[in-house]
Amino acid sequence: MKSVKVTNTGGPETLELENITLDKPIEGEVQIEHVSIGLNYIDTYHRSGLYPLKLPTGIGMEAAGIVKEIGPNVANFSVGDKIAYAAPPLGAYSSHRNYPAKNLVKVPDNIDLVEVASIMTKGLTTFYLLHKTYIPKEGETILFHAAAGGVGQIFCQWAKSLKLKIIGTVGSEEKIELAKKYGCDEVINYSKEDFAKKVMEITNGKGVSVVYDGVGKSTFDKSIECLKLRGTMVSFGNASGALDPIVVSKSLQPKGIYFVRPAMMQYLITREEIEEASNMLFKQISSGKVKIEIYKKYKLEEVIQAHKDLEGRKIIGPAVIIP
C-alpha cells in the first residue's frame, strides 16, 4: 500500500510517496482499493499552501475503486461494491485508504471506474454551477472561460444538453476546435482578442446573463464588462491567481452585478445532495450527453511530473493517476 503525503507546502517536489499500512476501518468507514484517482487543479492549491491545510496531510479528493472491507455501522455498502467520491478528507492519492462511507456513491455497472474518477470533481462542479449556483434558461447565452480544459469539456457538453448558447474562451488557437467539439457555439482566443469586446459583438451589445469563471485574476475585469444589466458573475477558480480585492463601486454597482464565489462542498453537504448530484452526473454519462476522453494517465510514482504538467497547462482534458 502506498500514499502521497505533503509535509511542507511548496512546489511539486514537496510531494512524497511513502509505503503505508492501514488499520481496519473504524465505525462509519470502509476500506477502498483505488482503481483510479482524479487529478485536479485544486490539488495544486492544497500542495502549494494557497488553500492552507494542517500538515502533514494527504492530498487528492477524488477517486474511484472497490470496497475491500466494511467498518462497524456501515449501511448501504458491501464488499465488492464499485464506488467513487469527490470530497474530503484528503488522501485520494493512494493505492488504498479508509474513508467515510457517508461521502461515497455507488457507481453503476455500465460506467467505467477509470473514467468516473477523472470527472467526479469536474462533473459535480458542473452540476452545481448549472443547477444550483445560477440556473440558466433554455436558449440563454452564457460565457465559460477555459472551455477546452478539464472542467470546460464536461461543462460545455452538459450545457449544450440544456440547449444553451455557449460562448467559450480558450488560450491558444489549437484549443478552438476542441472547445467547439465539446459544445461551444462561439470560441474566443483571449490571448489574441479582447474577449469582452468580442462577446458584446456576438450578443449585439446586450452582454451575457452569466459568466462562469474558473480562471480568476486575469479574466475578472473583462468578465464584468461582458455581463448585461443585473448579470451574474460566478467565480469558482483561481487558475491564473487569486482575485484582487473587489471594489464594489467600480465592478459591481454600475450594472447591479450579482457576484458569487461558490465551492462544491457548499452544495454537497447532505446525503441527499450528494446522491442528487452524482445521479445526475451518471445519467449524463449513461445517456451519452457527456462523453469522457481521458487525456493522460500517470502512475502514482509519477505524481511530481503530473503536478508539473498541471501547472504548466500541459493537461488538456480529464487526467488520472493509476495506483
Q: How far is CA 66 from CA 36, 164, 175, in A?
A: 10, 37, 36
User: pTM score > 0.75 for this model?
Assistant: yes
Sequential pLDDT tens for the chain (323 residues)? 999 999 999 999 999 999 999 999 999 999 999 999 999 888 999 999 988 999 999 999 999 999 999 999 998 999 999 999 999 999 999 999 999 999 999 999 999 999 999 999 999 999 999 999 999 999 999 999 999 988 999 999 999 999 999 999 999 999 999 999 999 999 999 999 999 999 999 999 999 999 999 988 889 999 999 999 999 999 998 777 778 899 999 999 999 999 999 999 899 999 999 999 999 999 999 999 999 989 899 999 999 999 999 998 888 778 999 99
Q: Distance between the two ends of the chain, CA-based, in angstroms?
A: 9
Domain segments of the chain as ranges: 2-118+269-322, 138-261
Number of other residues whose CB lies within 10 A of the CB of residue 36: 24
Q: Which cell numbers in the block locate residue 230?
A: 443585473
Homologous superfamily (CATH) of 2-118+269-322 is: Medium-chain alcohol dehydrogenases, catalytic domain (3.90.180.10)
- Confidence at residue 27, expressed as pLDDT on a 0 to 100 scale: 97
Q: Is the separation of the CB atoms in 323 and 43 below 8 Å? A: no
3-state SS, residue 70: strand
Is it true that 2-118+269-322 and 138-261 share their CATH fold? no
How far apart are alpha carbons 211 and 292 in whole angstroms?
A: 24
Fold of 138-261: Rossmann fold (3.40.50)
Q: Which cell numbers in the block locate residue 168?
A: 467559450
- Confidence at residue 169, expressed as pLDDT on a 0 to 100 scale: 97
How far apart are alpha carbons 36 and 42 in whole angstroms?
A: 17
Give pLDDT tens digits for 48-72: 998 899 999 999 999 999 999 999 9
Give pLDDT tens digits for 198-241: 999 999 999 999 999 998 888 999 999 999 999 999 999 877 77
